[in-house]
Structure 1
């Protein structure tokens, strides 16, 4: 395994690179970092992939944003810095959102995609439980209450609207708490906005084979977006992972890995 940093505009991205074979880029969820993929790297490498996971700007060991930036352009710079012309993308939540924007702008650079608990730039939230937690999170930010802010994040995007905290794997919750708190402690000085494409109305342009995975206990907003991707993108497969919420790759790593690897292998054979 190698690790290092790749320069991007006004900053740098931390990455880990392991294995050999077809390049597979892992894009983590918002408020998390590359560590969320601990349960995926080994199985993917053993399956014959070169696995690159990295911290998005404003997360983990990557740079704190100083001005406006585009996460999909950071991904482009990462691939260029690692001399990768074509790769498959595996993204969860914010990572899926970035992967979709990137695939719309740079379709020739994307071979296949696995989109888990996907966000899509341009989407709006309507789930009452999520809206209430986002409101509480904003209040916590104004009060500079980091503990409450992180708990609201966990309630919305780890527990989900259908579960209590004590119904979620305690170790998964602890890991997500640690990563989210690191974001607050290390990147609270972030400035600028994230530029996105507004991909919600461009999903029909997605031409790479893609798999959509969603947990059955995730919010209605994520289920709705997943349904739109499945209906509108050109070559899609989908699955619902039972007994899990938004952080499904962490909660159900065996099911996630099996679904992702089966799809990737079948899609490659079909091309």
Structure 2
């Protein structure tokens, strides 16, 4: 299966990996600035999100990204990733360090992280709502949980639409397949790395960023005092320059 994707711009490639509260549309605010900065921008939808169908067999998201890059003839890329997409990016950068020129992680998740009480409560409540058939309620729970105080109503509606679509696609699947898990060590990552956390996010993601900053050699750690879990959507005016400034010196 080839992941649904789009490519715009000319220059070295930067690949954008979305949060599991959205799909590749979450990067709409960053797209023009990255193209103007001289990047060829690749965005893709993971299986079961956006325009990519649900898995039809066990799969690995990082391998899916590698396969897509191979099909497009991309040997090396910068990675910008959010939340669940960050988990994929960390795995990718650890498995294939020579392919990654830079790594920017926004409120990243991490394989093997044991969720704290607040994150467990969120997951339990989401499961309850979905089991009861209340997709709208589960969608609103995600909107309220993942967006910080600076998100305007247009942004909230965008996340609402992306999350609702993901739920509908995934709930309609005839069979659910467990992902193929690959254990990696973040210490093997060689790319310049930026870790961004939000002060209004759940504690888990702030802790993951702080932890990875000690495990990825030379990583830079920034906590935004205004941000929730999706800062690139909440305040593109602040996050987009942060990303372009970080990426510029890493251009091949």
Q: TM-score, normalised by structure 1?
A: 0.88
- Return 221-230 or 168-177, whichever deviates more: 168-177
Of residues 232, 248, 252, the one that matches 1:265 is 248
Counterpart position of 1:182: 165
Counterpart position of 1:63: 53
Long gaps (5+) in structure 1: 1-10
Of residues 143, 146, 149, the one that matches 2:132 is 143
**Structure (1 or 2) with the greater strand fraction:** 1
The CA deviation string for residues 9-41 of structure 1, in whole angstroms up to 9 with x for no partner, is xx2311110001010000000031111001000
- The CA deviation at 1:203 is 2.0
- The CA deviation at 1:194 is 2.0
- The CA deviation at 1:168 is 4.1
- Return 17-26 or 227-236, whichever deviates more: 227-236
The CA deviation string for residues 211-248 of structure 1, in whole angstroms up to 9 with x for no partner, is 01111111111011000111111121121223120011
1:195 aligns with 2:180: yes
Matches within 5 A, 1:246-257: 246-257=229-240
Counterpart position of 1:242: 225
1:110 aligns with 2:107: no
Of residues 36, 42, 48, the one that matches 1:46 is 36
Long gaps (5+) in structure 2: none
SS of the counterpart of 1:39? Answer: coil
CA distance in 1, matches of 2:6, 2:140: 29
CA distance in 2, matches of 1:186, 1:219: 26
The CA deviation string for residues 168-200 of structure 1, in whole angstroms up to 9 with x for no partner, is 42221111000011112223216202223344x
CA distance in 1, matches of 2:250, 2:40: 17
CA distance in 2, matches of 1:255, 1:197: 34
Matches within 5 A, 1:8-23: 11-23=1-13
Counterpart position of 1:75: 65
Q: Is the Cα contact below 8 Å between 2:151 and 2:233 reproduced in 1?
A: no
1:123 aligns with 2:123: no
Counterpart position of 1:86: 76
Q: How many residues align?
A: 250
Counterpart position of 1:25: 15
